[in-house]
Structure 1
Amino acid sequence: MLTCPDMRDSWHWFLKNTLIRYKDFQFSFIIMKKFLEAYKGINRTVWIFTVVMFINRVGAMVMPFLSIWLKEEINLSLAQTGLLIGVMGAGIIAGSYLGGFLSQKIGSLKTIKLSLLLMGIFLILVYYSSDIIVLTVLLFILGCVQEWTRPATLYFFTQSLKPENLPKASALYRLAVNIAFAVGTTLGGLLTAISYAALFWVDAITCWFALIFILVALKGFNDKKETEKQKIINSGKTNLRIFYFITIILFYYTLFFVFFNSYPLYLKDFCKIDESTIGILISGNAVIIILFEIQLVNYIGKRNLNTRAVGVGLLVGALSVLTLLSGSSLTIQIIFIILLTISEMLCLPYLWAIAAYLGKESNKNIITWYSFFGSVAFMISPVITNFVAEKSGYDIAWIMISVFGFISLAFFILLRNSGEIFLKSES
C-alpha cells in the first residue's frame, strides 16, 4: 500500500509526464496545422487527382527493373538491352508531345484516362512478348502512352487552379510522386523476388485501379469545359520569350537529370561507394523534398519572391555541380545532394507556373513544349555526360554540366527582363 509521500511522488510523476506528453502532442499538432495550411488554396479536384497520380506512381514498379528483366529473363545482350531502353526513351519523347496534343484536342482528363488504360494493357503485352522486334515496338508504345500523363497533368492543374496556387499544386504533386516512388521501388524489389510476372501484373492493375478511382471520384468533371478554357489559356503567337524559356528547360533539366542518370554511376565507379550507400544518398533527395518543399513554396509565395527564387535556384544548381570538383569524399557528395535539392525545390514548382503564363500570353503549345524538351533533356543528359566523362574525365564533365546551369541562368535573366513571367490572380 502506498504511503502519503509515495502517493504524492506518484502524482507528481503522473502530472509531469502527462504535461510533457501534452506539450509534445500540442507541438505536433501545431506542426501538422502549419503543414496543412501550406496547401491552402488547392481545391478538392486537385487533391483527388493527386491521389490518383499517387496510386499510379506507387504502381510504377517495372521501370527501375526493366533493364534487369530484359537482360536476365529475356536473355538479351547488354547492347540489345541498351537499344530497347533507348527505343522506349524515344517513345517517351514522342509521348510528351502527343500527350500535350491530345490534352488540347480531347481534354487533359480524357488523355490521362486513356493513358492509364493503355499503360496497363501494354505492360501485360510487354511481359508476354519475347521476340525482340515485337518487344521493340511494344516498349516504344509503352513509353509513349505513359508519358501522356506529364503534359496532361500540367494542363489539368492550369485549368483547375488560380494562377498563384500553381507552385503549391506542383509541390503537392511532387510530394506525392516522391513518396510513391520510394514505396513503389521497395515493393517492386519485393515482387521481383516472387516473380517478374507479379511485378508486371501489379503495375498494370494499379494503372487500372487509378483509372477506376478517377472515373468514380471525378465523375462530374467537365472535360469539355477544360478544352474551352485551354483555348483561352493557350492563345497567342510564338516569340523570343518562348525561345528563352525552352532554352532554360533544356539546359537546366540536362543538369538536373544528371543526378538520376550519370551521378549514381560516378558514385560507384569513381568514388568507390557501395550500392547500399548510393541508395541512401539518392533517397536523401526525396526525404528533403518531402519535409521541406511545400513549406518553402508557401514561404516564397506569401512574400512574392517567385522570380527571385527561380534565379537563386538556377545559380545554386550550377554551383552544386562544381562542388564535385572538390573531391570524392562522402561529405562532398552530401553537400552536392543538399545543394542540388535546394535548387530543385526553388526551380521546378515555378517553371510550371512560368509555362502557364507563357501559355496564356504567347503560345498555345508552350506546355507541350515544356514537357517535350524536359523529356529530351532526360534522354541526352546521360549520353553527353557519360561520353565526356569517358573521353576527358569526370571533372571536365562536371564543368560542362555546370556551364549548362549558368547558361540557363543567363536565359532566365533575359526572360525576366523581357516582361512578366508569372500569372497574376484573376480573383
Structure 2
Amino acid sequence: MKLYNFFYYSLGQAYLDTFRGLSKEVWWLAFITLINRAGTMVIPFLSLYLTTNLNFTLDDVAWIMTAFGFGSLVGSWIGGKLTDKIGYYKVMVISLVLSGFLFIGMQYLETFQTVCFGVFVLMAVADMFRPAMFVALNAYSKPENKTRSVTLIRLAINLGFSMGPAVGGLIITTMSYGGLFWIDGFSCMLAGLLLLKVLHPKKSKALDTEVSASPLSAYADKSFIIFLLAMVIFGIIFLQFISTIPYFYKEGIGLSEFEIGLLMGLNGLLIFIFEMPLIKWFENKSFTKIGLMIFGLILTSISFLFLTINPWLGFIIISMFLLTFGEMIVFPFSNSFALDRAKRGLKGEYMALYSIAFSIAHIFAHNLGFHLIDALGFHNTWIIMSVSGLIGIGLLIYLKKQMNPAKHLQEHDNIL
C-alpha cells in the first residue's frame, strides 16, 4: 500500500507540475473556453441532424458543410482585422454574445437555402473569436510557456468536447435536437459574460507586449505560407472526425447516437489525460516543432488505414487513439509555431491566416469527404485521406529543410 501511495502521489504530482507557471489570465481564458465548448453539442452531430431531422441528402449536407467552412474563413479574416484595429478583448466578447443568439436561431431554419445562409452567418460570427483568442493567449503567456498555454486551451476545448457529445447523444436519444441549440446558445452567452467579468483590460495584465518595429506582412512570409498549406491538408484529413467519421460510425458500422457520442468523447478524454504531460515531455527534448508536426501527421494518416481493415470495434478504437495522439501533437506545436512567427508582423493578421488555413480545410473537407463516400464508398475514401497525408508530410519536410539550410545535411531529426 505504501508503494501504491508513493507511485500515486508521484504520478499525480508530476501531472500537476505540467500546469505550473501559467498566468491566471490563461487559466481564466481556458475556463471560459471550457464553458463555451461544453455546450457545443450541435457541431459533432450536425451531419446527422441534417440527414435524419431535416431529411437532407448527402449532397445537400456536403454543401451546407461547405457554407460552414466559408463562414469560418470569413469570420477568421474579419476577426484578425478587427483584432489589429480594436483589440482582442472586444472581438472576443462580441463574437461570444452574438453567436449565442445565432445558435438558438439555427433550430428554426428548415430549408436548404436558409440553413446554408444560417450556418454561414453563425460561423462567420463564431470564428471571429479564434484569431482574437490566439492573440490574447500570446499576450497573457510568458515566451517559455506559450506551447503549454496553447495546450491548456486545447485541454479546455477537448474536456468540453468530451462532455458535450456524450451528453448530447443522451439528449438526442431522450428528447430531441432542439435542446442542443439552446444549450449551445446559452453557453456562448455565459462565456461572454464571464469574459466581461474577469478579463476586462483593467483587471488583466499582458505578459508579452513585444511588437515588431517593422512589421512584415504574413502574406509575404513564404515559409509561413508553406506551413499553412500543410495545415490545410492536415485539416482536411482531421476534420473528417466531425462529419464523415460519425456518419461512418452510424451507416458503416451501425452504432447508435449514444455510442457515437461515447466513442467521440473518448477523444476528449484521452486529450484531457495525456496531452499536457506529453507536450511537457516533448518540450524537454531536442525535437523541433516542425519535426513533431511531421510525426503527428504520420499518426493521423495511419489512423485512417485502421478504418479500412474491418468493422471490428477494436480497430475503430485503435484508429481513434492514433487520430487523437496525432491531433495532440500537431495542434499545439503548429499553434506555437504560428505564434512565434507572428512576432515578425501584425499578430492578428498572422493568427487570422492560421485560423483561415483550417477554415479552408472546412470548405473542402466535408464536401470532399461526403462526395468521395457517395462515389467511392467508405473504404476508398479512408485510403485517399491517408495518402493525402503524405503530401502534407512532404511539405513539412521541405519547410524544415528551407528553414535550416545549413543544418539539414548534418542533423538527423530525432522524430524521423
What is the TM-score normalised by the length of structure 2? 0.83
* Secondary structure in structure 1 of the residue aligned to 2:343: helix
Partner SS, residue 336 of structure 1:
helix
Q: 1:81 to 1:292 in 2, by over 3 A?
A: closer
- For the residues of structure 2 that align with 1:195 and 1:61, how far apart are their CA atoms? 12
Q: 2:185 — aligned with what?
A: 204
- Report the CA distance between 1:51 and its aligned residue: 0.6
What's 1:178 paired with? 158
What aligned pairs does 1:264-343 form with structure 2 within 5 A after superposition?
Answer: 264-273=246-255, 275-307=257-289, 308-343=291-326
Q: Is 1:244 matched with 2:226?
A: yes
Deviations 1:287-315 (A, max 9, x none): 22111111110001112324332222222
Query: Aligned letter for 2:73?
Result: I
Any residues of structure 2 matched to 1:188-199 within 5 Å, and which? 188-189=168-169, 193=174, 199=180
Displacement of 1:227 after TM fit?
Answer: 11
1:239 maps to amino acid = D
Deviation at 1:249, TM superposition (A): 0.6
Asked whether the equivalents of residues 109 and 223 of structure 1 are also in contact (C-alpha less than 8 Å), the reply is: no
What is the alpha-carbon distance in structure 2 between the residues aligned to residue 350 and residue 87 of structure 1? 28
Moved more, 396-405 or 107-116: 396-405
Which protein has the bigger helix share? 1
Aligned to 2:14: 34
Q: CA deviation at 1:262?
A: 1.6
1:11 counterpart residue number:
none
- How far residue 138 of structure 1 moved from its aligned partner, in angstroms, is 4.1
Q: Deviations over 1:311-360 (max 9, x none)?
A: 22222222332333433332322222222222111211100011112222
Consecutive unaligned residues of structure 1, counting only runs of 5 or more, are 1-19, 422-427
**CA separation of 1:77/1:278 partners in 2, compared to 1, >3 Å: closer, same or farther?**
closer
User: What is the identity percentage for the equivalent residue pairs of Structure 1 and Structure 2?
Assistant: 27
Change (3 A) 1:61 1:389: closer
Q: Which moved more, 1:168-177 or 1:126-135?
A: 126-135
8 A contact 2:161–2:268 mirrored in 1: no
Q: Give runs of aligned pairs for residues 395-406 of structure 1, distance below 5 A.
A: 395-406=379-390
Query: Could you give the per-residue CA deviations for residues 358-385 of structure 1, whole angstroms, max 9, x where no partner exists?
Result: 2223675231111112022123123223
3-state SS in 2 of match to 1:60: coil
Q: Report the aligned-residue RMSD.
A: 3.3
Assess if the C-alpha contact under 8 Å between 1:157 and 1:169 holds in 2.
Answer: yes
1:346 aligns with 2:326: no
Instruction: Determine if the alignment matches structure 1 residue 92 to structure 2 residue 75.
Output: no
Structure 1 residue 224, shift from structure 2 partner? 11
Q: 1:84 to 1:316 in 2, by over 3 A?
A: closer
Contact 2:66 2:366 in 1 (8 A): no
Contact 1:116–1:207 (8 Å) recurs in 2: yes
Query: How far has the Cα of 1:24 moved from its partner?
Result: 4.9
Q: 1:417 aligns with which of 393, 398, 401?
A: 401
Measured after TM superposition, the shift of residue 89 of structure 1 is: 3.9
Residue 135 of structure 1: CA displacement?
5.8
Partner AA of 1:313 in structure 2: G
Partner of 1:149: 129
Which residue number corresponds to residue 158 of structure 1? 138
The amino acid that maps onto 2:103 is L
Identify which range, 41-50 or 53-62, moves more after superposition: 53-62
Closer, same or farther: CA 128–412 of 1 in aligned 2, 3 Å: closer
Q: 1:276 to 1:103 in 2, by over 3 A?
A: same
Q: How many residues align?
A: 400
In 2, the alpha carbon distance for the partners of 1:361 and 1:263 equals: 38
- Is the contact between residue 234 and residue 363 of structure 1 (CA under 8 Å) also seen in structure 2? yes
Of the three residues 407, 411, 419, the one matched with 2:391 is 407
1:215 is matched with which residue: 196, 200, 204? 196
Corresponding letter in the other structure for 1:341:
T
> Deviation of residue 62 (structure 1)?
4.0
Q: Which residue of 1 aligns with 2:340?
A: 357
1:83 Cα deviation (Å)? Answer: 5.5
CA distance in 1, matches of 2:242, 2:118: 25
CA contact (8 A) 1:99 1:148 kept: yes
Q: Distance in 2 between matches of 1:84 and 1:406?
A: 28
CA spacing shift, 1:363–1:338, aligned 2, 3 Å: same
**Residues 118-173 of structure 1: CA distance to partner in whole angstroms, max 9, x if unpaired?**
12232344456678766654443222111112222211112221333222112211
Q: Partners of 2:29 and 2:332 in 1: how far apart?
A: 17
- Between the aligned partners of 1:300 and 1:417, the Cα distance in structure 2 is 21
Aligned counterpart, 2:411: none
Partners of 1:314 and 1:132 in 2: CA distance: 35
